[in-house]
Every structure is written in structure tokens, then in C-alpha cells.
Amino acid sequence: SGYLLDAPDTYRERVDAAYRAGWPIALHAIGDAAIDLATEIILSCQEKYGRNALPNRIEHYGIARPDQLEPVAAAGIAVTPQAAFIGPLGDQFAQMVGPEREGWLYRGRSLVDAGILVAGSSDLPVADNNVLRALQSCVDRRTEGGRILGGPEECLTPEEALRSYTEW
């Protein structure tokens, strides 16, 4: 399990104030509990104040349960899973979460199919900022150990990978 850097109510208050002032929100959430909290906070702000002109965002969206995709898609929330993590960190991630949750890691295809806006990101300096390697990781999802993280069903097409780093 992960940890929060502050109390959930403190996050809610801070995000509400920024949103009310007109700022689009970008919340970092890696684990599924953090994704639940980030989604709940953004949905609450959108219900109170309406949607922003720019999409609100969840950074990383690292371990997303299947039931978390539809609410994010319906709310127009963008996500930025870092494909650049797959090569150097994918084997470690898969080992840590186990085979029953490996398919939830830094998803690709299931996000696109759910209608979620997927924005490419390097998370520099944590990961390599070579966009060509990140695009390749979106397409082949291959870890340094040769595993296809989450299985081939999470791979994007080359065009979708390019769109995630440009149009989307």
C-alpha cells in the first residue's frame, strides 16, 4: 500500500480552492486508492463549479482497477500514464503487484477503449525523456526482462501512441 502526503480533507480543500479560482487540476495518483481519491475530488469540483475549459488530469494513473475507467472517461478526466516506465521498471512493478493486478499497471489499450484522454508523459527526471523509446513502449509494452507488461491486449497502435504524445 502507498501513502498520502497529507490528509484527504486537506487535499480536498486545496484542490477546491484552486479549481474555484479557475485552474485545471492535475493530481498525482499512482495506486488505486489514490486514484479513487483523485477522481472523487475532481468529480466533486466539476459538480460544484462545472468543467474547466482544459481537462483535469490524473498524473500516472499507475495501478487502475477496471471499475475506475468508466467514471474517469465520463468525467472527461485526462490521464498521463508513463510508458517510459515500462522498460526499466515494468518487471519490478509486475513482481510487486502480482499476476492478478499486473494488467492494471500503466494501462494503454483499455484506457483508449474506455474513451479516456491519454496524454503521453516522460516524468523526467524519474524516467528517460526519449519520446521515441516511450512511443515504442506504448506499442510493444516490453520490459527489460522481455515481458509484455499487462499482456498484448494493452498495446496501442503506433498511431495511437503518436496521438498520445501530440494530439491527445
Per-residue pLDDT, 3: 83
**Model pTM?**
0.94
Per-residue pLDDT, 164: 97
Per-residue pLDDT, 165: 95
Per-residue pLDDT, 2: 77
In which residue are the cell numbers 479549481 written? 19
Per-residue pLDDT, 127: 82
Per-residue pLDDT, 133: 93
Query: Which three three-digit cell numbers place residue 94?
Result: 509486475
Per-residue pLDDT, 107: 97
Distance CA 137, CA 118 (A): 14
Per-residue pLDDT of the chain (168 residues; tens, 9 = 90+): 678 888 999 999 999 999 999 999 999 999 999 999 999 999 999 999 999 999 999 999 999 999 999 999 999 999 999 999 999 999 999 999 999 999 999 999 999 999 999 999 988 888 888 999 999 999 999 999 999 999 999 999 999 999 999 999
User: Rounded to the nearest 5 degrees, what angle is found at the Cα of 40, between the Cα atoms of 28 and 125?
Assistant: 5
The residue type at 131: V
